[in-house]
Amino acid sequence: MPLTRRHVLLSALAAPAVLTLSRPASAREPEVFQSAGVAINGTDPVAYFSGNGPVPGSADHAVTWLGATWHFTARANREAFERDPMRHAPVFGGYCAYAASRGYLAPTQPEAWTVHEGRLYLNANLRARELWLQDIPGNIAKGQANWPGILG
């Protein structure tokens, strides 16, 4: 069968699709921001709600939830989290809330945080927190539209 321009053109058009289909699937990011399996840099998420800000938790008071180990300062905080993890866990899995509002993932620093309407939001740094604070309701809506799709 002779090779015609049509065959060459169809082969050229099909090549990108074949290459795309043959690529390995990219791994989905964990649902919770974690380092070495420990959620949110090892800070106690419950402590943010008592006005103490970021307080390092301890492996002595740990629980596993959503594939990550969460550390707490005390048994009472761990038990509060276990009773209602969705109330205490940071929104967007502890990834940067501002980045989520822009459609991408970023790690967080414990010092860049906000409790808004009873929910904890973490940011990548204090500058991202400043940008986040300029329009919290709008940023939440944008982040919710992107979540959890940005996990991959």
Number of structural domains the chain divides into: 1
Residue 52: what pLDDT? 80
- The Cβ-side half-sphere exposure at 64, using a 13 Å CA radius, reads 2
More confident site: 88 or 5: 88
> 101 near 133, Cβ under 8 Å?
no
pLDDT 10s digits, 20-77: 333 334 589 999 999 999 999 999 999 999 988 999 999 999 999 999 999 999 999 9
Tell me, yes or no, whether 66 lies in a domain: yes
Tell me, yes or no, whether 11 lies in a domain: no
- CA dist., res. 102 & res. 7, Å (int): 43
Residue 8: what pLDDT? 39
Tell me, yes or no, whether 20 lies in a domain: no
Tell me, yes or no, whether 123 lies in a domain: yes
Q: Is pLDDT at 6 greater than 50 in this prediction? A: no
- CA dist., res. 13 & res. 146, Å (int): 32
